Chains A and B, each alone.
Chain A
């Protein structure tokens, strides 16, 4: 059990979302800490319109998971399962932005070893979930706001 827990932390992936890596009609992308470090060494990370040095944040990330579905039923299932997981887990909702046909919810969980930010993006027939894992604080993430 301890080894299993260690492996979750080591890979920087939230296990609950890892299961979508092999699901039909779902695109699963995982970027590890190692790849983030390698990418950061080649060229600095930058966000258009954000003048802050986001390398401070990317250095603290241990992984990014991006789960997307553009198929109506799968997208609805992904949305429902994500919301259920977030409600049952120790996640706090930070924000909800409703705009046109788009709904964005941002959740946060700060653990002793690993913190997680989950961004759930819902559109008419599309759902995308972006999961940021790492040893960052909420303050670090809020530094992305201008």
Chain B
């Protein structure tokens, strides 16, 4: 028997073709099944623990890489020169003079403050002695 092509069948002839029994119910059941499938919540690809472990691993990796880079830069004398490039002075003598100047200023000002403190302590001690003397006389 020749196979019928659906495009060759006219709309009038289509109406006369009998619908197989139970087709409607079967189609409805299939559509319901697809709908249920769509509504079903998708399972997470990773469990919570696995996600935490992955996050911790990522952080450890970043920290490890950071530490490695940091220590390598510091341990390697060639890269240490890169740090020197950030210095204002390339000449150690000028750097020493400037460092000495800065430390001198700090020392001078610290001394100024401490000298005043010592003076104040001396005055305070003298006042205390005078006060005690007067108190003894009154007694």
Interface of A toward B, CB cutoff 8 Å: 2-3, 6, 10-11, 28-32, 34-36, 38-43, 45-50, 54, 57-58, 61, 64, 66, 94-97, 99, 104, 106, 117, 119, 121, 130, 132, 141-142, 144-146
Residues A32 and B86 in contact, CB atoms below 8 Å apart: yes
With a cutoff of 8 Å between Cβ atoms, the chain A residues found around residue B95 in the complex are 31, 35-36, 38-39
B105 CB contact (under 8 Å) in A32, A57, A96, A130: A130
Residues B84 and A48 in contact, CB atoms below 8 Å apart: no
Interface of A is mostly: mixed
Interface of B toward A, CB cutoff 8 Å: 62-63, 66, 69-70, 73-74, 80, 83-84, 86-89, 92-93, 95-96, 98-100, 102-107, 109-114, 116
Residues A106 and B106 in contact, CB atoms below 8 Å apart: yes
State the CA gap A132–B103 with chains docked (Å).
Answer: 9
Whether A145 contacts B104 in the complex (CB less than 8 A), given A32-B87, A34-B84, comes out as no
Q: Which 6 A-B pairs give the minimum distances between C-beta atoms? A: A39-B96, A95-B113, A144-B107, A39-B92, A38-B92, A29-B88
Whether A39 contacts B93 in the complex (CB less than 8 A), given A10-B73, A45-B99, A95-B113, comes out as yes
With a cutoff of 8 Å between Cβ atoms, the chain A residues found around residue B98 in the complex are 29, 31, 64, 66
Closest-by-CB residue of B relative to A12 is B83
Residues B83 and A32 in contact, CB atoms below 8 Å apart: yes
Residues B112 and A99 in contact, CB atoms below 8 Å apart: yes
With a cutoff of 8 Å between Cβ atoms, the chain A residues found around residue B104 in the complex are 47-48, 50
State the CA gap A97–B111 with chains docked (Å).
Answer: 10
Seed contacts A35-B95, A39-B95, A43-B93; 6 additional CB < 8 Å A-B pairs = A10-B70, A106-B113, A117-B106, A130-B105, A142-B110, A144-B103
Residues A30 and B88 in contact, CB atoms below 8 Å apart: yes
